[in-house]
Amino acid sequence: PNTTEPGTKADAFAPSNIALCKYWGKRDVELNLPINASLSISLGELGSHTTLSESDRGQDQVYLNNELLSLDSPFARKVIGFIDLFRRDLKQPVQVRTVNNIPTAAGLASSASGFAALTLAIDKFYRFDLALDHLSAFARMGSGSASRSLYQGFVEWHKGSREDGMDSCAERLALEWPGFRIGLLKVATGEKKVDSRSGMQRTVESAALYSAWPQQAANDLVAIKRAIQQQDLECLGQTAEQNALSMHATMIASWPPLLYWQPESVAAMHRVWELRASGVPVYLTMDAGPNLKLLFQHADEMQVRDAFPELVDADIVAPFG
Ligand code: 2P0
């Protein structure tokens, strides 16, 4: 984009998202282009608020949850590196403030909503006024899953085929499901040792099982979209759960092995399966960490809450209000 005179201050919000058909593996590490398309649901009001303004300190300043970070910290370096893609020669120092309202207890990663909100704030601050699909492609360069956080609702991230990556962007699907619920089940704490970026690279390079993943993901995406259209929780849940566990199987088959699960994760998986065996339609999905996300419908919320009393009100998300 062409840089115009920046405004004085720009605010933006972007929701967090949970993939029902996962993104795992890059075909281009520089441009952050995925091997497979993915499909997610955004989390409404849960996400990141980002403010971009001129810095009055003569240097860039990065705040995370109201705490000033060292410019050498990994988060600040990623944020400033991303802004540099846009401001180029216009090296006017900026202040970036990001506040995540995702309950930290939920154990959700915030890079998706963070880079999406930052992309929107950059667009406003530098007055680029770009279309959302272009912003989605730019957010992708910060973090792949951020491409999906530009939109609410059910979102598909197309893998694209162009060499410049500009068609590898997300799109909101014209599908709603008012009764759809997500339960954010935190089972373990602690920083993960291997981030998604290096984890997926390791899988692509070392797991023989990975060769089956792109085709499975393509099939799952079609099945999930159809299940959403028909509001068929069993079909959606089964496909999403199998998709997540297949992704984890490729991680486990990597070398060195990549196992994000803790004993508490496995115990919680068994609890989900027992609840389902007792007749409650509830399914699970997991990302690059030890925590679970439960997929169910409003009609079954009481039974899910009874079985998982650790789920407080804030952990149950109604993406369509
Ligand atoms: C997803 N994950 O689809 C998958 C499932 C984690 C497991 O997208 O390297 O932080 O910045 O593009 O987006 C997390 O990966 O990775 C992710 P980069 P990102 O939600």
Residue in 158, 164, 204 with CA at minimum distance from that of residue 27: 204
What is the predicted pLDDT for the residue at 300? 98
- Residues 139 and 69: their CA atoms lie apart, in Å, by 22
What is the predicted pLDDT for the residue at 83? 95
Q: 83 CA to middle of ligand 1, Å?
A: 20
pLDDT for 35-85, tens place per residue? Answer: 999 999 999 999 999 999 999 999 999 999 999 999 999 889 999 999 999
What is the predicted pLDDT for the residue at 103? 67
What is the predicted pLDDT for the residue at 169? 98
Residues with Cβ within 8 Å of 243's Cβ and at least 6 positions away in sequence, in order, are: 20, 21, 22, 216, 217, 220, 224, 285
What is the predicted pLDDT for the residue at 110? 80
Q: Is the ipTM of this structure higher than 0.90? A: yes
> Could you tell me if the CB of 196 is within 6 A of ligand 1?
yes
Which ligand 1 atom is the nearest neighbour of the CA of 143? 11
Q: 22 CA to middle of ligand 1, Å?
A: 8
- Residues 73 and 57: their CA atoms lie apart, in Å, by 18
Q: 201 CA to middle of ligand 1, Å?
A: 11
What is the predicted pLDDT for the residue at 3? 53
What is the predicted pLDDT for the residue at 193? 82
Low-confidence ranges of the chain (pLDDT < 70): 1-5, 103-107, 190-192
Which ligand 1 atom is the nearest neighbour of the CA of 18? 20
Q: Are 40 and 19 in contact (CB under 8 A)?
A: yes
Looking at residue 110, the DSSP 8-state letter turns out to be -
- In the numeric block, the tokens 């993901």 are attached to 217
What is the predicted pLDDT for the residue at 109? 74
